[in-house]
Structure 1
Amino acid sequence: MAPGTILLVDDEENILQSLSRALKLEGYKVETSQNGSDALNLLKNQPIELMMIDVKMPQMNGLEVLSQAIKMHPDLPVIMMSGHGTIETAVKATRLGAYDFVEKPLTTEKLLLTIDNALRFKKLQDENKDLKDQIRERFHMIGKSKCMLELYDKILKIAPTSGRVFIFGENGTGKELVARAIHNNSTRKNRLFCKINCAAVPKELIESELFGHEKGSFTGASKTRKGKFEIADQGTLFLDEIGDMHLEMQAKLLRVLQEGEFERVGSSETTRIDVRIIVATNKNIRQEIEKGNFREDLYYRLNVIPFIVPSLRDHADDVPLLVEHFLKIVTSENGKQPMVASDKAIEILKQYQWPGNIRELKNIIERIVILFDSPNIDENHIIQVLPLDGHIKKTRFEGKKPLRDILRDVEKEVILLQLQRNNWHISQTAKDLALERSHLYKKMKQYNIDRGNNSY
Structure 2
Amino acid sequence: MNKINILAVDDEPDIGRLLQEILEDEGYAVMVAESGAAARRLRAERKPDLILLDIWMPNEDGITLLKEWLRDDPLCPVIMMSGHATVETAVEATRLGAYDFLEKPLSMAKLLVTVERALENAKLKRENIGLKRRAEAPIEPVGKSAAMERLRDQIRRLAQHDAPVLLVGEPGSGKETLARYLHANSPRRDGPFVDVGVGTIAPAYSAVEFFGRVDGLDEIQHGLLEQAHGGTLFLSEVADMEEETQIRLMGALESGSFSRVGGSELLHVNVRVVASTRKPLEEEVRAGRFRRELYYLLNVVTLKVPPLAEHSEDVPELLNFYVDYFVSREKLPFRKFPVPVQNFLRHYPWPGNIRELKNLVQRLLILGSGEEVELEEVKAALGESLAGPVSPSQPDFYDLPLKDARERFEKAYLEYHLEKYAGSVARLSQAIGLERTHLYRKLNSLGIKFKDKR
Using the size of structure 1 for normalisation, the TM-score is: 0.57
Structure 2 CA distance for partners of 1:133 and 1:298, relative to 1, 3 Å: closer
Matching of residue 343 in structure 1 with residue 306 in structure 2? no
1:390-418 Cα offsets, whole Å, 9 max, x none, are 478xxxxxxxxxxxxxxxxxxxxxxxxxx
Counterpart position of 1:267: 263
Q: For residues 117-128 of structure 1, what are the structure 2 equivalents within 5 Å? A: none
Q: For residues 391-402 of structure 1, what are the structure 2 equivalents within 5 Å? A: none
Counterpart position of 1:159: 159
Partner-residue secondary structure (3-state), 1:367 = helix
Counterpart position of 1:168: 168
Higher-Rg member (1/2): 1
Partner-residue secondary structure (3-state), 1:348 = helix
Q: 1:363 aligns with which of 359, 376, 398?
A: 359
Counterpart position of 1:134: 135
What letter corresponds to residue 241 of structure 1 in structure 2? E
Q: For residues 228-239 of structure 1, what are the structure 2 equivalents within 5 Å? A: 228-239=224-235
Matching of residue 325 in structure 1 with residue 321 in structure 2? yes
Contact 1:211 1:229 in 2 (8 A): yes
Query: Matches of 2:352 and 2:175 in 1, distance apart?
Result: 13
Counterpart position of 1:214: 214
Query: Matches of 1:388 and 1:279 in 2, distance apart?
Result: 32
- More moved, 192-201 vs 208-217: 208-217
Partner-residue secondary structure (3-state), 1:238 = strand
Partner-residue secondary structure (3-state), 1:224 = strand
Query: Matches of 1:127 and 1:269 in 2, distance apart?
Result: 31
Structure 2 CA distance for partners of 1:369 and 1:204, relative to 1, 3 Å: same
Matching of residue 242 in structure 1 with residue 238 in structure 2? yes
Quote how far apart the aligned CAs of 1:334 are.
3.9
Structure 2 CA distance for partners of 1:314 and 1:87, relative to 1, 3 Å: farther
Partner-residue secondary structure (3-state), 2:215 = coil
Counterpart position of 1:145: 145
Counterpart position of 2:292: 296
- More moved, 325-334 vs 91-100: 91-100
What letter corresponds to residue 136 of structure 2 in structure 1? I
Partner-residue secondary structure (3-state), 2:276 = strand
Counterpart position of 2:100: none
Quote how far apart the aligned CAs of 1:249 are.
1.8
Identical aligned residues as a percent? 32
Structure 2 CA distance for partners of 1:182 and 1:94, relative to 1, 3 Å: farther
1:240-280 Cα offsets, whole Å, 9 max, x none, are 11111111221222211221111112223211111111111
Using the size of structure 2 for normalisation, the TM-score is: 0.57
Partner-residue secondary structure (3-state), 1:307 = strand
What letter corresponds to residue 270 of structure 2 in structure 1? D
Quote how far apart the aligned CAs of 1:388 are.
4.6
Quote how far apart the aligned CAs of 1:295 are.
0.7
What letter corresponds to residue 132 of structure 2 in structure 1? L
Counterpart position of 2:188: 188
Structure 2 CA distance for partners of 1:282 and 1:257, relative to 1, 3 Å: same
Partner-residue secondary structure (3-state), 1:205 = helix
Equivalent residue pairs, number: 283
Query: Matches of 2:189 and 2:338 in 1, distance apart?
Result: 39
For structure 2, the residue ranges without an aligned partner over 5 or more in a row are 1-105, 389-454
What letter corresponds to residue 326 of structure 1 in structure 2? Y
Query: Matches of 2:315 and 2:181 in 1, distance apart?
Result: 20
Partner-residue secondary structure (3-state), 1:150 = helix
Q: For residues 306-321 of structure 1, what are the structure 2 equivalents within 5 Å? A: 306-321=302-317
Matching of residue 258 in structure 1 with residue 259 in structure 2? no
Query: Matches of 1:182 and 1:126 in 2, distance apart?
Result: 18
Contact 2:199 2:240 in 1 (8 A): yes
What letter corresponds to residue 357 of structure 1 in structure 2? N
Q: 1:281 aligns with which of 277, 285, 288?
A: 277
- More moved, 144-153 vs 333-342: 333-342
- More moved, 324-333 vs 90-99: 90-99
Counterpart position of 1:422: none
Query: Matches of 2:183 and 2:220 in 1, distance apart?
Result: 28
Structure 2 CA distance for partners of 1:162 and 1:130, relative to 1, 3 Å: closer
Structure 2 CA distance for partners of 1:316 and 1:235, relative to 1, 3 Å: same
1:57-77 Cα offsets, whole Å, 9 max, x none, are xxxxxxxxxxxxxxxxxxxxx
Query: Matches of 2:127 and 2:187 in 1, distance apart?
Result: 22
Query: Matches of 2:384 and 2:224 in 1, distance apart?
Result: 42
Quote how far apart the aligned CAs of 1:378 are.
2.4
Counterpart position of 2:101: none
Query: Matches of 1:322 and 1:154 in 2, distance apart?
Result: 21
Query: Matches of 2:222 and 2:344 in 1, distance apart?
Result: 48
Query: Matches of 1:126 and 1:196 in 2, distance apart?
Result: 22
Query: Matches of 1:283 and 1:126 in 2, distance apart?
Result: 36
Structure 2 CA distance for partners of 1:91 and 1:341, relative to 1, 3 Å: farther
Contact 1:348 1:382 in 2 (8 A): no
Contact 1:199 1:245 in 2 (8 A): yes
Quote how far apart the aligned CAs of 1:299 are.
0.6
Counterpart position of 1:453: none
Contact 2:134 2:184 in 1 (8 A): no
Query: Matches of 2:119 and 2:276 in 1, distance apart?
Result: 41
Structure 2 CA distance for partners of 1:374 and 1:293, relative to 1, 3 Å: same
Contact 1:353 1:391 in 2 (8 A): no
Contact 1:327 1:338 in 2 (8 A): yes
Structure 2 CA distance for partners of 1:133 and 1:196, relative to 1, 3 Å: closer
RMSD of aligned Cα (Å): 3.2
